[in-house]
Structure 1
Amino acid sequence: MKIYTKTGDQGYTSLIGGERVEKKHPRVEAYGTVDEANSVLGFAITKMVDQPLEKVISMLNQVQHDLFHVGAELSTPKGRNVPWPITEEHVKRLEQFIDDLETDLPPLKQFILPGGSEAGAILHLARTIIRRAERQTIQIKDHLSSMIVIAYLNRCSDFLFIAARWVNHKLGYEETPFYSPAKH
């Protein structure tokens, strides 16, 4: 299989089922943003491999697989069969990941600034990219086969926030609280 097909050279791509759309189509923007987040997660994992973070690496690897399901949802026009659908079980697994990681964290009493360790900061970046994908997905919600994909993206950003906090906590980085201008 060759990586180049030349079918996109005029600025069009195919959705699942063969429909051709411009690469600037909101659907393509949404699944492209999911792909961007997935790549950033891979980058975050490279910053964790020499650390005692196997637990969260395993979770992040699962999320990377799930994001391919999200991409399939977003690239499949309504009424067509999604080859790898995102399901309620995917959302529930994220909730379990969140609950599991939160047991190791001190309660959050105020907003915190994104940052900390390299891996933690990269996870915060991935979280914001997932939020962008969520906003883009909401723009095309009437054209989706399932609304579960929106719930998944919402929960995924929650998970990445907790994962960033967990990584920073495990690596000994303190959280930087946000101070409003009135207190600063």
Structure 2
Amino acid sequence: MGGVTDRTTSSRRAPSPPARLSLTPAPGGLDGMWWPRSRALTRELPSLTAALGGLWGRITGVTVNPAYWPVLPHWVSDAGRTVHVGWSTEEQDPHRLTLFSPDGRWDMLVIPPETGADAAARLMAGDGIDAPTREEAAERIDARSREGAWETDGGAGRPSRLPRPIGSIGPSPAGRRR
């Protein structure tokens, strides 16, 4: 699934709340975890890059997988400085974010914004969870979020996988009219 490209910046928006981070290194090459408040990169990345800039040097670039980000900006503004945003579907895990600065590269696990506070706290604390399990947990949370969106948008249970014959009138195989 690709994202929509957005050429706007976050410079006109109200300041973002502080980033929710855990900078505890974890197996699998993770340098920490990030729990954004939404899937809006233009809103979320400035607080993340600002928080990390003091620790890791000025962040100059970020790479994401577009699978879970509906809008992909080319860049965002961090205190008047440009942070370039790139994306890859082949090299970037959908549950990771890679940050770049002149001093190095860092990989963060992205905890889905829809995650409840208790589950996010457990993931960020580690609680004996290794990196692959954290990514699997993030995938399960995303799957539940998609199911919840289906229910909220008017779905009733799971959608029927039976095709409806072309030109038919009347109830669909799932018993609903379309």
Give the TM-score band, short-chain normalised: under 0.3
User: Max radius of gyration: which structure?
Assistant: 2
TM-score of the two chains, using structure 2 as the length reference = 0.27
User: Counting strand residues as a fraction of each chain, which structure ranks higher?
Assistant: 2
Higher relative contact order (CA 8 A, sep 6+): 1
